[in-house]
Amino acid sequence: MNSLFQRIGILTRPNTATQSMKDVIQFLRTQHLEVYLDRNHLAEELNEFCVDKHCHIVADLGSNCDLILVLGGDGAFLSAAHQAAPFNVPLVGINQGHLGFLTQITQENMFTELVNILEGKYRKDECVVLETKVSRDSEVIYQGLALNDVVLSRGGAGQLIEFEVFINDEFVYSQRSDGLIVSTPTGSTAYSLAAGGPILQNVLHAFALVPICPQSMTNRPIVIGDDNEIKILITKAGDARVHYDGQSFVDIQTMDVISINRYHNMVHIYHPASYQYYKTLRQKLHWGEQLV
* 45-78 confidence digits (pLDDT tens): 787 888 888 899 999 999 999 999 999 888 889 9
Domains and CATH numbers, the chain: 7-128+266-285 (3.40.50.10330), 130-262 (2.60.200.30)
Is 38 catalytic? The answer is no
**Which of 60, 66, 74, 226 is flagged as catalytic?**
74
The predicted model gives 99-108 an average pLDDT of 82
pLDDT at 99: 67
Structure letter (DSSP) for residue 289: P
pLDDT tens digits for range 151-190: 999 977 778 999 999 999 999 999 999 999 999 999 999 9
CB 249 within 8 A of CB 242: yes
| pLDDT tier for residue 101 given thresholds of 50, 70 and 90 | confident
Provide the strand spans (E) within 195-266: 206-212, 222-225, 230-236, 241-244, 248-251, 257-262
Which are the contacts of 243, defined by CB distance < 8 A and separation ≥ 6? 150, 151, 153, 249
Instruction: Name the band, by pLDDT with cuts 50, 70 and 90, for residue 106.
Output: confident
- Predicted confidence (pLDDT) at residue 267 exceeds the cutoff of 90: yes
Residue 25 CA to residue 54 CA, distance in Å, equals: 10
* Helix residue spans in 94-163 (DSSP H): 110-118
Closest by CA position to 55, among listed 47, 63, 44? 47
Q: Are 228 and 207 in contact (CB under 8 A)?
A: yes
Give the SS3 label for residue 69: strand
Partners of 175 in beta bridges? 163
Q: What is the pLDDT of residue 221?
A: 96
What is the pLDDT averaged over residues 21-42?
90
DSSP H or E stretch at residue 52: helix 47-52
Q: What percent of the chain has pLDDT over 70?
A: 98
Q: What is the pLDDT of residues 232-255, one digit of tens each?
A: 999 999 889 999 999 999 999 999
**Percentage, residues of the chain above pLDDT 90:** 72
Taking 80 as the threshold, does the pLDDT of residue 43 lie above it?
no
Residue 288 has pLDDT above 90, yes or no: no
Q: Tell me what the pLDDT averaged over the chain comes to.
A: 92
The pLDDT tens digits for 212-230 are 999 988 899 999 999 999 9
